[in-house]
A and B are shown apart, each in its own frame.
Chain A
Amino acid sequence: MTLAIRTTDLTKDYAVGFWRKRPYRALDQLSLDVGTGDVFGFLGPNGAGKTTTLKLLMQLTFPTRGRAEILGRPVGDVDVKRRIGYLPEHPYFYDYLTAEELLGGFAGMFGYRGAERARRVGTLLDEVGIGPERRLALRKFSKGMIQRVGLAQALINDPEVVFLDEPMSGLDPLGRREVRRLILRLRDQGRTVFFSSHILADAEALCSRVAILVGGRLRTVGSLSDITAFHVRGWELVVSGVEEPVLMRMGLMQRTTRIGEERYAIELPIDEPPDKVLSDLTVTGARLVSLNPIRDTLEDFFVRQVSGVDPPESRVKG
């Protein structure tokens, strides 16, 4: 696997407290590999260390320990910066510049000039849905529009790796759908997308791989199917040709949902083998329609990972 991002024991302590400064560990020995072409979801509850990781990758903060590389080179390298894009969480830009001017300036930093620069800016603003308002000062923009401008600036240099910190934040349902499409388009173009989110539906819809970060520590990393596939928490048995009194007699009514005429879905816990219930039912004349394992959703998995984590105070030392 060619690596787009690699972090090794990446650790960040912040000093907290007014008079007596104490270190607060925001990120604890994060070791992570992200392959090129992945849409990688960096998940965790608020305060998990997602933004800290992204800031370390952008060298907006410096690590206390450990190292990080993007495209095989140390972070902060100007040549690396040419090949990446970054959307910060809750982006903010200059009040008195227009979207066109802002993007034009950023394009200039990557060496775009004249007509090529104007074309690049125009295409990107079209792509994120900013119309004639592109000539208005940014202070007149809504939060959602600023987020779109933020996305456009992250893509101004046609980046190989795109870092998006909570890209759906501040967007209405339509905007969220457009961003999802945009991320999928980036994936189809072979780009690596590394995005942080606490909205699991986004990750489920988009990611090939995810990492779950809790309390500054990496809890798990892997493909979405790997993470959820091994957590079968029960069985769903769909049968037809059976009547309610039979189900009642067998003590199954509490776990049964009627889905049609003499057709029922029965949920069985993982420790209750479905073959025994099935053979009992077939004796009464019931027919098996389907038998499926009930797997964890990412949300179930996430909640299980997050519960029982140390409260933030316990991460302050001294």
Chain B
Amino acid sequence: MRTSRVVAIVAFNVFKESVRDKVLYNLVFFAVLLIATSLLLGKLTAGQEVKIIKDLGLAAISLFGVFIAIFIGIGLVSKEVERRSIYSILAKPIRRHEFILGKYSGLVLTLLVNVAIMSIALYLVLGYMSWTEAEEFKRAWDAPAADPAMLKAIALIFVELMLVTAVALFFSTFSSPILSAVFTFGLFIAGHFNADLKHFEGVVDSRVAASVARGWYYVLPNLAAFDVKAQVVHAQPVTAGYLGFTVAYGFVYIAMVLLAAMWIFSRRDFK
């Protein structure tokens, strides 16, 4: 009861701070602008409009979501330590792991609202397409414009963003915002090419290098698994089993990263 109360208070403060930060508005504005622009781009490619809009729209949700997750996530703890605002908070009846949990929940809530806004913008653009397009063109589409299956891709993007946020927060507990940004972005890129590490022995002769690569394959998050944009856009099935397994994998990875962040943060000296 006490834990949930203090976690909720910290989370709500993060949410309020983020919502009032102009950087966030800029990011959301550009994402919505990009989604709207895709409507114009779609017009240039006869017959492929809906695919282009879906592709660009989902990519915008993912990309701008990652920007928000990284740029806010890296400062979540390190800024508090740098500015010493953490001193007053930790003197209150809150445990250090509760503080980390609150910070994380606050940013996840912020991301949820942002992803929701961007998704609504995308569905509005697609709904407009569907409403204005002639029936004979619609018949050529692989899937309806405002396809509910896109929600599967959006759900996986959101879990991926939760994972990236956890990683950014983890680095933020012991390093500066700039280093945290470099580490998190590096991990994000590496995470998307993770599958290549599994079969590294096919690329190099060295058995040691192949073993190291295999080790990294298990440590790094497999972010490519969360990317089902192409399947959704081309109306290929994304099974409930795949969805469930990927979400479960994401949650387990998030839990591990958060536990590590809490462990480090609980032992940290604030000089």
Contacts and interface: CB of A to CB of B under 8 A. Distances in A.
A58 B17 contact: no
A62 B83 CA distance: 20
Contacts of B5: 108-109, 111
B91 interface: yes
Nearest to B81: A60
A187 to B, nearest CB: 21
Interface residues of A, number: 36
A110 B93 contact: yes
Contacts of A78: 2, 93-95
A109 B93 contact: yes
Given A105-B12, A110-B92, A110-B93, A96 B21 contact: yes
Interface in B79-130: 83-88, 90-95
A167 interface: no
A124 B271 CA distance: 30
B131 interface: no
B6 interface: yes
Contacts of A81: 91-94
A60 B87 contact: yes
B269 interface: yes
| Most A C-beta atoms less than 10 A away, residue of B9, B13, B84, B267 | B13
Contacts, number: 85
Interface string A75-95: 000110110111110111111
A92 B88 CA distance: 9
A297 B60 CA distance: 69
Contacts of A91: 84-85, 87-88
A301 B234 CA distance: 83
Contacts of B12: 105
Interface in A35-91: 55, 58-62, 78-79, 81-82, 84-88, 90-91
A153 interface: yes
Nearest to A87: B88
Nearest to B87: A88
Given A88-B87, A109-B94, A95 B269 contact: no
Contacts of B90: 58-60
A94 B88 contact: no
A221 interface: no
B207 interface: no
Contact of B93 (A62, A82, A87): A82
Contact of B20 (A93, A137, A154): A137
Contacts of A108: 5-6, 9
Given A14-B269, A88-B88, 12 more contacts: A61-B270, A78-B93, A78-B95, A87-B88, A88-B87, A90-B84, A91-B85, A91-B88, A94-B13, A108-B9, A109-B92, A111-B5
